[in-house]
Structure 1
Amino acid sequence: MTALREVAVVGAGAAGLHAAEALRRAGYDGRLTLIGAEDEPPYDRPPLSKHLLSGRWQPDRLVLRGPEALHRLAIDLRLGVRAERLDRRDRTVRLADGGRVRCEAVILATGVRPRRLPGAEAPLAGAHVLRTLADALALREELRAGVRLLVVGGGLLGAEAAATAVELGAEVTWLVSTATPLAGVLGRETAALLAGLHREHGVRIRRGVAAAVTERHGRASGVRLADGSQLAADAVLMAVGSEPATEWLAGSGVRLDDGVVCDAYCAAGPGVWAAGDAASWPDPRTGRHRRLEQRTNATEQALCAARNLLAGPDGARQAYEPVPYLWTDQYGLRVQAFGRPGGAERFEVVDGSLAERRFAAACVRDGLVCGAVGIASARAMRGLRARVAALSPWPTGAGVS
């Protein structure tokens, strides 16, 4: 193990917390500082758009570790303060409150920030994003029977928020830019099933491109579309993607290109590592750099970065080669996906059926299993995961043996 005595982890979300825990489990007993911009201790983000937004959970249910567990980690926990600069020469992280944290090595896990539409770049009443606990609680205050909510963005976050809001009695319009929202993530067949569910529950799916949030009397009043038309609403949720929170690394010498650019071992330079939503590393199958904004990736990549940091420059490092995994909960159904179901040429159901809303399917491209997607079919999905990991050939007409 490396002889480092001062390590900092910047970012106190899931990736940052798991990195700190992994360092301690592996035997690192030096000074360990965990820096977080939010006031809250590390919490889980996936429930924000579902359990918390619906009111079924309160904020305390999202906390990843209680005070005693954090105390046992023996970390210097700096919450409510942003990192402003990484000085690699002085081996310090400079903080917004004027403080400095010494670190011989650092793991960058600052995640992403939500994009905003023109007209709502600055805070505007009734215009919401959904990334933090505070964001979710603010939106929850708006949701009630009869309120008109306009959800802008055809990704998983927008889909989950729309499903939650309509079940609370809101009148929901979901503005998407593609014919079948979520097809690029879950594949056409599963995406079409979910779109049908949204319509069954009263969500109005509208196709178009948002140009700007409109405002009236100091409050969001809807969205103007690129074609000049307008959609009126009492509240707008901007679920239009995100960007890596890496601006504070400018001038540090760390390479930035849609995130912190890492090698196959999650290293971004001497003494610098990255994990989670902001980390960009070479896909072992294509060689092209990619980021994954997925909860499971945050955990797995943090563990890999911590292990490789402690291995030292001459130790046995492990390349990061995940099988991407995501899930989404909508209308009482949990959809799970491995790999890359979007863009598959063939959709091979191996268990159940789409009509039953219980199935597992292999997603095949160029004759190889590039992904898998399913609902309530755990055993078959486990078998398909192995095939996704191996990028197995899929014979014509074959099922799971």
Structure 2
Amino acid sequence: MMRWTQYCLFILLLPVLSACDSFWNNRLELKSVNQPAMETLVQEQNWVLVDVRDSDWYNGWPSGNDSEGGHIPGARNFDLAWMAADPGHIQNLLTSKGILPENHIVVYGRDKQDAQVLAQWLVADQGFKEERIRVFEEGFSGWLANGGEPDKLPGYQRLVTPEWLDRQIQSTPNLTVLDVSWGKGARYVVEHIPGALHVDTGSLESEPLWNIEESARLESVLLRLGITRDTPVVVYGDDMTAAARVLFVLQYAGVKDVRLLNGGLEAWTGSGFPIERGINPASPAKRFGARIPAEPDILVDTETVERNLGSDQEYLVSIRSWKEYIGATSGYQYIETAGRIPGALWGRAGSETYRMEDYLNPDNTLREFRDLEGYWTPYGIEKQDSITFYCGTGWRASLAWFAASLMSYSRVAVYDGGWMEWSRDASRPVDAG
């Protein structure tokens, strides 16, 4: 089942494309290339290869027509549905992927038609020159049928699709689906995935710092939800950072199989799956099955951060807006001090405190891993290095941590206290500028 946004792509894009006289009057047909020519352009002449398919298919999930998912090696992902997104977000995406008018572009999709739509849009709406664009009309399916070995996001199976989740709900009796938000869950009561339990993030965090609850309290909350170490769990919400925060807490506690619904509730409803109203009661469990925390190494405390200041063996990465990073704002009404922890690298986040467009696509799905690696690798960070992410109170850092873990970064952690805890002690050093 394809997402409803893709079924309605023509309608979504009509206001954009109708403004492009050249699109309608000239019916542009960009030049096509076969597979050998495509490979020569990309591998020998450094043309940018663009995959216009759904990001889940790009990550590794197979579409209904293909035996295998993933993408042609080196391809960058720009889903057709994003063409109708906010112009600022579109430019952010295009720039980070090198899809720029001065570059040469090869476009592919499921078929020739998909690729032509994006190629024509680049010319008609984004100012690209026709001679700098080619269409690989055989698409991913043709390339795969010719023996292609696709690249995949290494941990894509933990970033699940609505289709996968629907099958699991039908076939896995002990699956627990968690609908995550801060507060009592007003939206949950009127709209949630069938069978889902609501989780208030405040039940897993303690005031005033919003750090993760101490072990006994955390175990009590999980048992009330019926979650043990062996319970398979899928987490989702309206806010991907909130969902990632709860996923982080569950893995820290020791839940062995916890996954995130890519795109959250928006992806579920956009795929045409049913919703449910009301409140689902949990069936409490008696024993968690392990000592909490079972994975303490993924959480870093303030003392550890202080001890590692100035270390060239430990990377501390700030997942905050640029204004927060340079100290122009603290980012929160309840945090007075602005600035950053000395030595922290800027790992990006979004244009404002509560936006994450550097990590999320316009449809709320996780951005492709090459975008994210592009934020970190310029600092020399490699997959075997020790990396600690922090933000204000842990939500944004949890999303970066989850993304890195999907990309096979093996030593990643979250500084739970973040800027809120660090900045409360005036004796701790602060950088700005």
Question: Which structure has greater strand proportion?
Answer: 1
TM-score over 0.5 (shorter chain): no
Question: Which structure has greater helix proportion?
Answer: 2
